[in-house]
Structure 1
Amino acid sequence: MDRKITFNELRHIKDSLPAGSISQIAQEFGIEVETVRNYFGGANYVKGKSVGLHIEPGPDGGVVLLDDTAILERAQQLLASHSN
């Protein structure tokens, strides 16, 4: 399922995650940590892979179209459980 989100919103979610969440997500999905970081706007394609992230210039860092929202949804779950 495609989803649009601003780049700044995406980065805010990543920056708000509890310590170790990026590694936890990577382990749960069976992917490299750098691939998860790339999902949130990183650009390390030596250790990580591309993740279907398309950025269009605009306000708030531009609009990001995510091809797959599974990592975003898991990050939001971790945020919700951390805030309770």
Structure 2
Amino acid sequence: MTKKITFNELRKIKDSLPDGAIHHIAEELGIEVETVRNYFGGANYEKGKAVGMHLEQGPNGGIVLLDDTTILEKAEEILQHHEV
């Protein structure tokens, strides 16, 4: 499932995650921590893999088209539980 989101919204989600959440997502999904960071706008492709993220220039950091929303869904799930 693809999803459109602004780059700033995506970074806000990442920045709102509690300490250790990036590692938790990576462990739960069986992927490298740097791959999760790349999903949220990082660019470390030596340790992490590229993710299906396409950026179009525009306001609010541009529009990001995510090919796979699994990491985003895990982050949102953590945020829901963290707010309780």
> Does the pair score TM above 0.5?
yes
* Structure 2 counterparts to residues 22-61 of structure 1, below 5 A: 22-61=22-61
Amino acid paired to 2:73:
E
CA RMSD of aligned residues (A): 0.3
TM-score, normalized by length of structure 1?
Answer: 0.99
Amino acid paired to 2:33:
V
TM-score, normalized by length of structure 2?
Answer: 0.99
Q: What fraction of aligned residue pairs are identical, expressed as a percent? A: 70
1:62 to partner: Cα distance: 0.2
Q: Which runs of 5+ in 2 are unaligned?
A: none
Amino acid paired to 1:65:
L
**Corresponding residue pairs, total:** 84
1:49 to partner: Cα distance: 0.4
List structure 1 segments (4+ residues) > 4 angstroms apart after TM superposition. Answer: none
Task: Quote the Cα distance in structure 2 between the aligned partners of 1:32 and 1:74.
Answer: 15
- 2:81 alignment partner in structure 1: 81
* Structure 2 counterparts to residues 58-73 of structure 1, below 5 A: 58-73=58-73
SS of alignment partner, residue 4 of structure 1: strand
1:63 to partner: Cα distance: 0.1
Task: Quote the Cα distance in structure 2 between the aligned partners of 1:33 and 1:71.
Answer: 11
Q: Which runs of 5+ in 1 are unaligned?
A: none
1:20 to partner: Cα distance: 0.1
